[in-house]
Amino acid sequence: MLTSKQRAYLRSLANPIETIVFVGKGGMSDQIIKQVDDALTARELIKGKCLENCPLSSREAADIIAPETDSEVVQVIGSKFVLYRPNPDEPVIQLPKAKKNR
């Protein structure tokens, strides 16, 4: 579970990156899930988009993809969504530490 500070940090990192996953009129498929899984392993942070003819909203698409790929939904704005999953072997992105409750 990401804290709001970690989420804000990831949003700032996601701003300049290119959209690499597109969900079209076919909706969600195993091929899209596989593409997202491979991209998350390689990049940790990806941006996706639901095209105009997509039967799903971007929130619905992100909520379907996230549990399938063990990732977190960082942000959904308009037709775009951002997903994050740390690489278990070689993490590249260092998240800000969560504060401990006293």
pTM of the entire structure? Answer: 0.91
User: Any residues with CB less than 8 A from the CB of 24 and at least 6 apart, and which?
Assistant: 51, 53, 54
Report the SS3 class of residue 30: helix
Amino acid at residue number 83? L
Written as tens digits, the pLDDT of the chain (102 aa) is: 888 999 999 999 999 999 999 999 988 999 999 999 999 999 999 999 999 999 999 999 999 999 999 999 999 999 999 999 998 888 888 888 877 665
What's the rounded Cα separation, in Å, for the pair 20 and 3? 25
Torsions phi, psi for 89 (to 5 deg):
-90, -50
Q: What kind and span of H or E run contains 77? A: strand 72-77
| Residue 23 bridge partners (DSSP) | 50
